[in-house]
Amino acid sequence: MDIHNTNEDLVFNAVQKIFDEIQSGGNPEKFCLCYQCRIDTICFVLNRVEPHYIVSNRGFTRIDPNSIKSQQMEVDITSLIYKGIRLVNHNMRPTAPHDGSAEHHSKIHHPLFDIPTISGRIFNGISFEPLVGIDVWLYCEGELVKMRNSNWQNPYTMVSSTAGAYSFWPAPVPGDIPDISKDFSFSIKVNSPDYEPLNHFFNVSSICKFHTPNSYALNRTLKLPDLYIFPPGSEDEEEEPLL
């Protein structure tokens, strides 16, 4: 299915243009203009702009850049970009270098096993409340799993806004021969002084290819079953006999 949001192109090009203009103008406000801040600004704007989808070149030809609606859209996008630049710079990602370098996808010279996004939820086994402030670790065959890029962390720290959910996007694993299948043994681990240790084991099957997706997609996400962890000793407590 070939569906395209044309406003993605407008926002991407406008952000790149404005960032380049700020840089060529000496950047008097000392904004961070790195790759990550550009991407975060693009996401900020796109989340606030109504999408405009087309499915063919006929739909594209019906777009009139000189119409009042298109001109107003450009004004709105420009305003959002400057707002986004300030907000992004005020809350820069601590995992990004912010030194002007960019994360580029290097050319693939050997086949890779693509591992899908892995997600799940963990709850307190007594209160059934979502966990907050607990680190969740992803291991593969005893080794801490490297993530696809710096926007994905391992361990993942549970926060209140995600309602007990965690997620990982493992980096592709190099292979030797294309079109062969392999099972990878993963485990989700939680070690916290407030709870009993948790170890959840599962397998992921992947086929070695010369191409791996560069963007996240919901239809490529492995959803794990809900997990529950308990305070120390709570599972050993016996119920009091009924009188």
**Residues 113, 99: Cα–Cα separation, whole Å:** 31
pLDDT at 243 over 50: no
Exposure string for 3-38, b = 16+ CB within 10 A, e = fewer: eeeebeebbeebbeebbeebeeeeeeeebbbbbbbb
Q: What is the pLDDT of residue 61?
A: 45
Looking at the domain assignment, is residue 102 inside a domain? Answer: no
Check residue 66 and give its pLDDT: 58
Instruction: Indicate if 27 and 83 belong to the same structural domain.
Output: yes
Within a domain: residue 141? yes
Residue 63 clears pLDDT 60, i.e. is over it: no
Q: Could you list the residue range(s) of the whole structural domain that residue 200 is in? A: 112-236
Residue ending a domain, among 55, 90, 125, is 90
Claim to verify: residue 24 and residue 131 sit in the same structural domain: no
Does the residue 242 lie in any domain? no
Choice between 117 and 64, residue whose per-residue pLDDT is larger: 117
| Domains in the chain, number | 2
Digit-coded pLDDT (tens) for 115-164 = 999 999 999 999 999 988 999 999 999 999 999 888 889 999 998 888 88
Asked if residue 117 is part of any domain, the answer here is yes
Report if residue 32 sits inside a domain. yes
Q: Are residues 124 and 161 in the same domain?
A: yes
* Structure confidence at residue 102 (pLDDT): 46
